[in-house]
Each structure stands twice: as structure tokens, then as C-alpha cells.
Amino acid sequence: MSKRIDVKDLNVYYGNFLAVEDVNINIDAKSVTAFIGPSGCGKSTFLRTLNRMHEVIPGARVEGEVLLDGDNLYGPGVDPVTVRSQIGMVFQRPNPFPTMSIRDNVLAGVKLNNKKISKGEADVLVERSLQGANLWTEVKDRLGKPGSGLSGGQQQRLCIARAIAVEPQVILMDEPCSALDPISTLAIEDLINELKDQYTVVIVTHNMQQAARVSDKTAFFNIAGTGKPGKLIEFGDTPTIFSNPTEKATEDYVSGRFG
């Protein structure tokens, strides 16, 4: 149930400001792709264009094509709501709905897309999703408690459970571990490894070791200077990017000689 993403000549603008220029990238199904690069290079912005979440930001717009198994997300008549139900997202800071219980958090997306769901089906889905997010054993006795009572790492895994409960084709993760301690980070990284058996995963990270650990392919984004657009510099197999990159800028960045 996972699909591939092909991006063709994508430009992202904030108003008249060109934020990301001319990205072409092919993301394989059932793989983990990491976006790395310095702050402000547009990797998070670009990630958001993959499920049209950039449209939440006033003035943000896109030129070009993003194809999900050949279907253009920006084609005429395509509803962003449908796009987002197929391409889920996990954010930088854990954001379970504070007004909902753990169980309701997991079911939040499902209730939107498929209003009628029996209690039995819901129970099965909650257990499967929480197990899929390696959280079931920790929360199975307190499903009725608020999600905001969990630790940061647990909250983030709850958000992942919420995202996979709707069985998306692709899961986008925007620096999912940057607010977490190393142990919680490890738990999420293990989870990402398991998720790629079923889903296409795209992850933005500032942590290059993390990119090296979890991803099959890595894309390096860079920016020429303040006010210039971000660009995709190099995209390839993760071992190649980290040990033998083609571009000088990539080598400088991954070896820590950047700037």
C-alpha cells in the first residue's frame, strides 16, 4: 500500500520570494529517504509541499509537479484534504490532541475518513496502530487517559500511531526526534526501520548520524546565502552521500567542514 513520489521541476514561493528552486527527485516506495542540510535551506518547506501542508502558510505556493504513483498532487480538481489523508505527517514537536484520550488520538484521523466504525473494529485498529508505533505495551492500560500525559517520546510515537492508523501511502516526518532525548530517539529510529516494510518514509533531520542510520537514500539541500533560494544539491544512496559524495558542498557538510 505504499506509493512512490516523483517531483518534477518544483519551485516553492512565499509570495514573490523563491524559497526552494527547481527540485527534481524520485523517492522509491517502501524506502526511507532523508533530507539533510543547514537551517533555512528549505528542506522542511519542500517536505511540506509533498502533502500540500505548505498551503497552511499564507502566501505559500508551488510551481511544478509532485506525482504520487503518477498522479499529480497539484493537478486540477485535486483536493488537498484527500492528498493529506494519503500522505501523513509527523511534526517536529509531538502534537497529540490534548483534549482527546490516547485511544481517541489514534482514531482521530480514521473518524474523519470513515465516519462509521464499530467499537470492535476501533479496538482492533487502536491496538494494531499502537503496536505499529511500538507504544502498545506502554499505554494499553490507560487508553482513556489524555495523550498529553505521556512523555515526549511516547507522545511522538502516539503521533506516529495516529498517522499510520489511517493507512497512508507515505509518511513524512519533519525532524521527528529533535525535541526528544537519545533513548526516545532510538525508539523512533527503530520504528522508522520497521515502518519502511509497509510505507514510504521521508524524514527531515538535522542529525547526520540519524540520516546515516535510518535512511536508504539521502538528499542534501543547501542555500547559497541569505535571501537566495534553497536547492537540492545532491541525491543518492546514503552510504555514497556520506562516504563518497560527488559535490564538494555535500562533502564539506557531511564531514563537518561546512561554512
Kindly list the residues in this chain that would bind another protein in the complex (CB under 8 A). Answer: 51, 53, 56, 58, 81-82, 84-86, 88-89, 91, 93, 95-101, 108-109, 112-113, 145-146, 148-149, 159, 162-163, 166
Q: How far is the CB of 220 from another protein (least distance, A)?
A: 25
Whole-number Å distance between alpha carbons of 250 and 115: 47
Q: Which is nearer to another protein, 114 or 255 (CB)?
A: 114
Pairing of strands 230-237, 217-223: antiparallel
Least separation in angstroms between residue 63's CB and another protein is 22
Smaller CB separation from another protein, 85 or 185: 85
Q: Residue 2 CB, nearest distance to another protein (Å)?
A: 17
The secondary structure of 32-100 as a DSSP string is EEEEE--TTSSHHHHHHHTTTGGGGSTTEEEEEEEEETTEETTSTT--HHHHHHHEEEE-SS----TTS
Query: Based on CB atoms, which residue is closest to another protein, 35 or 242?
Result: 35
- Among 10, 105, 96, smallest CA distance to 54 is for 10
CA distance 241 to 234: 8
Q: Which is nearer to another protein, 203 or 241 (CB)?
A: 203
Q: Which is nearer to another protein, 8 or 93 (CB)?
A: 93
Q: Identify whether the C-beta of residue 13 lies closer than 8 Å to the C-beta of residue 60.
A: yes
CB of 174 to another protein, least distance (A): 10
Q: Indicate the residue among 99 and 243 with the shorter CB distance to another protein.
A: 99
| Sheet of strand 230-237: strand arrangement | 71-72, 60-68, 5-14, 17-27, 230-237, 217-223, 32-36, 200-204, 170-174, 87-90
Minimum distance between the CB of residue 158 and another protein, rounded to whole angstroms? Answer: 11
Minimum CB–partner distance for residue 96 and another protein (Å): 8
